[in-house]
Structure 1
Amino acid sequence: MLQVKHLLADKGNRIYSVAPDEPVLAAIRTMADHTIGALLVMRGEELVGIVSERDYARKVILKGRSSSDTPVQDIMTSPVISVNPADTVDTCMRLCTDSRVRHLPVVENGKVVGVVSIGDLVKAVISEQGAEIEHLQRYIAG
């Protein structure tokens, strides 16, 4: 069974973040620049929240707030649901489904070591299923 550490080994452990007192506009620009859907909200090395495009749409746009005047801490999700490198892809998929989240920070010994998205998890499941199908086809054929 694939674990989070295997996903991070393939995709890398690059982390994009924003400070809680930064304006939402800065967070949206960072997400656009890196074509990502969420940013970790960090106070130094401490994970204090996560902010997503969904948070922006629901808590800024729909409420008529200003993205340049609203600090990230006002719209971020906190506390953050996180996983550790030893967690399985299945565990993460269930967590995303049950909690209705799309991004999971990966935390090891209190330190953020990466982020996995629902897209990363789906890609891993598809790859694993493809390998299993190929194995079964070879078994049946031969």
Structure 2
Amino acid sequence: MRVSDVMAAFPAYIRLGATIRRAAEVVSVSEVGQLMVLDHEGRFVGSLSEEDLVRAMLPGFDDVTAGGGTLADAFRIFLERGRTLADRPVDPLVVRDAATVRSTDELARAAIVMIDRGIRRLPVVDDGKLVGTLSRADLCRAVIYHS
């Protein structure tokens, strides 16, 4: 079985230069935990997870508690950082060395890459172009419907 047999052909993506606010909107609307990032010519350049977005805004717990702060203070700082960073580009947050597979790869190869590296959603890239994504749920679906 090939990756193309079970991948999602219309992945959630943003372009380089998009704002953090836009990325957060797309994550929220698409309900995926990882966005694919394309350049302005439509070539795949990397990925951006909801974890990357949250981490950029979240203060260090030790930083808050060292000053006698509470969890409520940490959340307030989180919201303030979110407002401050909202209109900045996502570019510095993009993971550019993301593992990828091709649509013609064996599904077993993709599954091994995902499990070995702890990846939940794998970009499917053919000749530099994003053609889909493969999630762990897609792997489960393959087992259910093709066994």
Shorter-chain TM-score: which interval?
0.7 to 0.9
- Could you tell me which residue of structure 1 aligns to residue 49 of structure 2? 52
- Could you tell me which residue of structure 2 aligns to residue 5 of structure 1? 4
* Structure-2-length-normalised TM-score: 0.74
Q: Secondary structure at the match of 1:124?
A: helix
Matches within 5 A, 1:108-123: 108-123=126-141
- Could you tell me which residue of structure 1 aligns to residue 90 of structure 2? 72
Q: CA RMSD in A?
A: 1.9
Q: Secondary structure at the match of 1:123?
A: helix
Matches within 5 A, 1:1-142: 2-8=1-7, 11=8, 13-44=9-40, 45-62=42-59, 64=78, 65-66=81-82, 67-128=85-146, 131=147
**Deviations 1:45-88 (Å, cap 9, x if unpaired)?**
12111011121233332455434044211222111211011212
* Structure-1-length-normalised TM-score: 0.76
- Kept in 1, the 8 Å contact 2:34–2:49? The answer is yes
Percent identity at matched positions?
26
Aligned length: 125
Larger RCO, structures 1/2 (Cα 8 Å, 6+ apart): 2
Partners of 1:109 and 1:53 lie apart in 2 by 26
- Could you tell me which residue of structure 2 aligns to residue 134 of structure 1? none
Where in structure 2 are there 5+ consecutive unaligned residues? 61-77
Where in structure 1 are there 5+ consecutive unaligned residues? 132-142
- Could you tell me which residue of structure 2 aligns to residue 139 of structure 1? none
Partners of 1:58 and 1:93 lie apart in 2 by 27
